[in-house]
Amino acid sequence: MTQEANNTLVVAGNEVWVRDKEQAWILGQVTETEEEQAIVTVDKTEHKVKYSECHRANPKTHGGVEDMTKLPFLHEPGVLHNIDIRYELDEIYTYTGSILIAVNPFHKLPHMYGPHMMDQYKGVNLGELSPHVFAVADSCFRAMIREEKNQSILVSGESGAGKTETTKLIMQYLAYVGGRNTDGRSVEQQVLESNPLLEAFGNAKTSRNDNSSRFGKYVEIQFDASGRISGAAVRTYLLERSRLVQIADPERNYHIFYQLCAGASPELKEELHLRPAQEFSYLNQSKCYELNGVDNAEEFARTQKAMSIIGISEEDQNQVWRILAAILHLGNCKFDGEDEAKFADEESELSVKHAAELLNADLDLLHKALMMRTFVTIEQTFVRPIEPAGAVASRDSLAKTLYQKLFDWLVGAINSSIGQDPNAKAFIGVLDIYGFESFKKNSFEQFCINLANEKLQQHFNQHVFKMEQEEYEREKIDWSYIDFVDNQDVLDLIEGKVTGVLALLDEQCRFPKANHENFSTKLAQNHKGKHKRFSVPRHCETEFNLEHYAGQVCYDTLYFLDKNKDFVVLDHQTMLESSTSGFIQTIFPKLEGESHSSMKFSSVGSRFKTQLADLMKALNTTEPHYVRCIKPNNLNKPSVFEKANVLHQLRCGGVLEAVRISCAGYPSRKTVEEFVDRFGLLDTAAWLDENKPERDVVLAILGAAKLEGWQIGLTKVFLRSGQMASLENQRTVTLNNAASVLQKYVRRFLAQAEYRKKRRAAMKIQSLVRGGLARKLAERIRRDKAALTVQTYARRWRARRAFLTLRRAAVALQSGARGMFARTLVRKLRYENSAIVLQKYIRRHLCTAGLRKKRRAATVFQCAWRCKQAKRELRRRKAAAKETGALLTAKATLEKQLKDLEWRVELDKRLWHDSEKHHLEELDKLKAELAAVKAAADAAQATLAAETAARAEAEKALEEERAGRASLAAEAAENQARSASAAEVAEAQAKMVAAEEEAEASLARIRVEMEAARQDAELAKEKAATAEAGAKELEAQLEALTQQFAELQEETKRLEGENAALQKGLATAKVVNGDAAPAARPPLAPASGAE
C-alpha cells in the first residue's frame, strides 16, 4: 500500500495499528492528522507516528474471519490480530487463501477430531466449513482423484509448533478416506503405525518441545485407480546424530533408549545387561528421564506393537534391542592416559565386554577400534595408538554410525514391509520438515535446516504466484507480471559449485589439518563485500551472517567441519564386518575394493543437498498444499499468545510473503453480490434500481468512488492494494453523514419527548398538589366528626359509670341482708342436724350391741355343737384305729381335718363381723379341704393296696403308719386338752402305744389280714362320706345364719326409712309454721353388717 493511499485511510477517529517493541503491534486511535504524520493515542498516551508506520485496523468481528484474504485491510498487524482473536476461542485453524495456518493449542481438543469430524469434512469443498486440517487433506485427496495428478502437503513450522501431530492427523484422514476395510495388516495400518515407530527412534525432548522430530520426513502414500491406498514410501532427511552422544539439560536423548530401559522384560534386561537410564553416560548428561503424562514402559510396548504390525520379526526386534544396548554400553567406556588411551577403570572394560557380546564382535577388534588407528599408505599399513580425546571421539563416532545405520535400516524395513505400488495411479506426498531456525548460537544443523527452508520457500513463492495467475485467468481479467522477492541468490550462495558455502566446506574437510578458522577465512575471501546476502560480524571472524528470506542468521563455524564429516573408519568397519550376527552384516555390508586410507570421507552437506534436490524434483511434479504450524508461546502453555514470537514465525513461514505477493496484484477481491451489498450505499440510486444489472451497479459504485485500476471478472471484483480500504473509508463517511441526519431527527424526537415528559410531570405535580389540599380538607372534616363521636361516647361512659356505682351499692346491701338471713337459717339447720346425728349414732350403737350379742350366742352354740360332733367322731375313729393300721391312718387324717375345721370355725367367729363375703370364701375353702380329705382317703386305700405287693413295701408302709400314729396322737392330745380331761388323753396315748407294739409284734399276721384292711378302707370311705355330710350340714347352718343377718339388715333399712320420713315431715311443718320444730328422733343406727 502506497503512502498516499495510507494517508487517505488514516483520519481522525479511526483505529490504527502502531509498532510496539514488546507486542510487535498495538492498537491506538487517531486523534489528529498532519501532513506527514498522525497523532495516535495509545493507552491514554499520544504518539506521533508516520503514515508508513501505521495501518488502518479492520472492522471488529466476533471470532475474526476464517480466510484472511477477506480482510478489508490485508497487512501484517491485521493478520496477526485475526489469528490472536481466533486462538482465544480455540479456533486454531485459519486460511490465508489456500494456506492453512495451524496454531498449537497445547491442550486436548477432542471435539475437533475423530471419525465424526472426518465424515463431516469428507467430500466438502475447501472453505464451505470452518478451517481444518481435514479440509486440506480432503481437498488434496479429491484433487488427486479429479485431476489424476500427484499432490503434496507441506507441513512446516518451528520445533513445538505441532508439525508431527498435524502430519499424523493428515495421514489418519487419508487412511480414513482411502482405506480398504480389510482384516489383518492393511497398508493404511502399516502407514499409520510407522509414525510411532519413527517417533521412538527419531524424536527427542528439547528445551522447546517434549516430542521434537530430529529428522525430516517425506511420506508418499500411493493410491490406485479407485482411490484406495495401494502402497507407500518413507524418506528421511538429516537425522541429528550429535544428539546421541551429547545432550544438554533439560533435554533428552532419543525416546527409544528410555523406553528400552523402563519397558524391557526382566529376561531381556538380563540378556542385554541393562540398568536404569540414570546409570548410562549417554542418558545421564541431563537429569530429565521422564516426560509429563508419558509412561516409558507403555510406550515401549506400543513401539513393539508397531514393529510387529510393520512386519519386523521378533528375531530382528531382538537384534535392534541388542544394538541399542551396545550403544549405551559404549557410552559408559571411559579413557585416560597421556599419549596412549587406555580404559579408566574396570567398569569401562566390563562395558566394552558387554558391547562386544551384544554386537557378536571380537573383543580385541573392538579394543583396537576404540583405542588404535590403522593408517594405510601405498607402501605399507601401520597401526598407531591414539590419545584419550581421540578414543572418546572414536567411541562417539562408532555409536553415531551404529545408530545412523540402524535408523536407515528401520526406514528401509518400513518401506519393504509396506511396499510400493508400481502401478499406482497417483500419490499424495506428506512432508514433515523442521521450520526455519534462528538461535543465539547457530551451527551446522541450523544451516542445513535453513537451506531446506530456503528451497521450500522458493517453491512456495512460485506456487503462490502461480495460484494468483490462475485466478486472474479464471476470472478473465487483464493483469501484468507480479514482482516478488526471489531467493535464488541465497541458494546460489550456498549451493554454488566452486565458491558456494557447501563447496568450500567440503574442500576444507578434505584437508586433514584444516579447521573452522580456515573455513571462515575462505568464506570471507570469496564473499565478503561481493554478495549482498553475506556478511561477517566485526569482532568475530569465526562467524558469518546470511540474509535469509525470514531474516538474518549468524552461524558459528566452530563445529561445521566435524559435523560435515561422515567418515567410515576402517577399524570400525573391520570390527563390524567380523561380527557373527547376520543382522549386523546386513546393515554393515563389506566395502567393495580396497581402501588406501584409514578413513573414507563422505560429506553430510553434499548428501543433504542431493536429497533436497531429489525432494524438490518430486515436489515439482505435484500440486502442493501448505500447512503452516505456529507455536503461540515458548512456555508450552495453553491460552498464551506471544505476538512478537508468532509474528516472527509468520515471517519465517512465508505467510507474510504470501500476503505481500497477493498485495502486489489485486489483493482485495469480493464477489459481485458481496460487493454490491456492502458498498451499494455509495450510489443509492443505482443500488435501489431493481431493473439494473449487478455489473452496472458495480460500475456505478466504482465511478462514484472515483477509483482507478480495478478489474471486474466473471464473478468477482478485483481491487488494487488500498482501494478496498478507500471504499471502506468512503462507506464510513457516507454512514457518518447518514448518521448525522439520523442524529438530527433523533435529537428532535428526543427534545419533543423530553418536553412531553416535562409537561406530563407538571400536570402530575399539579394533580398531586390539588389532591393533597383536598385530602387535608377531608382530614379536618373527619377529625371534627371524630371529636363529636368521642364526646358522645365519653358522656355515655360517665352516665353508665354513675349508674353502675349505684347498682353495685344496692346489690351490696341486698346481698348483706340476704347473707345474714341465710346464716341464721344455716345455724338452725346445723343445730338440728347435730341432734339428728347424735340420735343416729345412739340407735346404731343399740342395734350393733344387740347384733353382737346374738352373734356371740350363735357362735357359742355352733362351737359347742361342733365340738360335740367332733368328740363323737373322734371316739369312733379311735375305735377303728385299734383294729388295723390303715384305720389308724384314716383316723389321724380325720382328726387333723377335725382340728382344722374347729380352727376354721373359730376364725369364722372372729371374721364374721367383717363381711359376709369372707364367710363365703371360707366356705369354698372348706369344700376344697373336704375334697382333699377324700383324696387322702383314696391315697390311703392305694397305699394299702400297695402293701400287698411285697414285704419291703409293707415295712415301709408300717414306718409311715408309725409316723401317722405319732402325729395323730399329738393332735388328739391337743384336741383333748381343749375338750376332754387329761385322763382321757393319757388313756388314748396308752392305747396308741399298745397298738403300735401289737402291730410290730404281729407283722407276720398283716399278710393274712390284708383283705380285712381293704374292707376297713372301704369303711373309711364311708366315714369320709359321713364327714362330708357333716360339712354340708354345717354349710346349711351357715346359710341359715346368713339369712337371719340379711333379715336384720332389711329391718334396719326399714327403720331408717321411717326415720327419714319423720324428719321430712317435721321440716315441712317448721317451714309452714315458721317456728322451729321439736327435735326429731334420731335415726336408728345401721346394722353391724352395713358397718
Q: In terms of DSSP bridges, do strands 151-156 and 623-630 run parallel, antiparallel, or are they unpaired?
A: parallel
Q: Is 162 annotated as a binding residue?
A: yes
CA distance 571 to 374: 7
CB atoms within 10 A of CB 679: 24
896, 901, 906, 909: CA torsion to nearest 10:
170
Q: Which residues are catalytic?
A: 159-160, 164, 209, 212-213, 435, 437
In this structure, which amino acid lies at residue 47?
H
CA distance 924 to 730: 135
CA distance 950 to 493: 151
Q: Is 654 annotated as a binding residue?
A: no
> Which sign does the torsion angle of CA 990, 993, 995, 998 carry?
negative
Q: Is 164 annotated as a binding residue?
A: yes
Q: Is 348 annotated as a binding residue?
A: no
In this structure, which amino acid lies at residue 198?
L
Residue 31: which H helix or E strand, with range?
strand 24-33
**N-term to C-term CA, the chain:** 140
Q: How far is CA 400 from CA 219, 397, 414, 658, in A?
A: 25, 5, 21, 40
CA distance 805 to 797: 12
Q: Is 762 helix (H, G, I), strand (E, B) or coil?
A: helix
CB atoms within 10 A of CB 888: 26
DSSP code for 442: B
Output the nine-digit C-alpha cell for 25: 503491534
CA distance 925 to 932: 10
The torsion region of residue 580 among left (phi > 0), alpha (psi -120 to 50) and beta comes to: alpha
CA distance 450 to 1014: 146
Q: How far is CA 120 from CA 357, 444, 468, in A?
A: 56, 45, 29
Residue 729: which H helix or E strand, with range?
helix 723-883
Rg of the chain on CA atoms, in Å: 68
CB atoms within 10 A of CB 1028: 15
> Three-class SS string for 556-572?
ECCCHHHHHECCEEHHH
Q: Is 15 annotated as a binding residue?
A: no
Within 388-528, where are the H helices?
A: 388-418, 444-475, 488-495, 501-509, 516-527
Query: Which residues are CB-contacts of 633 (< 8 A; sequence separation ≥ 6)?
Result: 106, 640, 641, 642, 645
1080 and 1066 in contact (C-beta within 8 Å)? yes
Q: Is 288 helix (H, G, I), strand (E, B) or coil?
A: coil
913 and 885 in contact (C-beta within 8 Å)? no
Q: In terms of DSSP bridges, do strands 54-56 and 15-20 run parallel, antiparallel, or are they unpaired?
A: antiparallel
Q: Is 158 annotated as a binding residue?
A: yes
> Which sign does the torsion angle of CA 509, 514, 517, 522 carry?
negative
Q: Is 160 annotated as a binding residue?
A: yes
DSSP code for 670: E
Query: Which residues are CB-contacts of 882 (< 8 A; sequence separation ≥ 6)?
Result: 888, 991, 995
In this structure, which amino acid lies at residue 272?
L
> Three-class SS string for 190-242?
HHHHHHHHHHHHHEECCCCCCCEECCEEEEEEEECCCCCEEEEEEEEECCCHH
Q: Is 298 annotated as a binding residue?
A: no
CA distance 173 to 133: 9
Please enumerate, by residue number, every residue annotated as part of a binding site. Answer: 157-164
Please enumerate, by residue number, every residue annotated as part of a binding site for ATP. Answer: 157-164
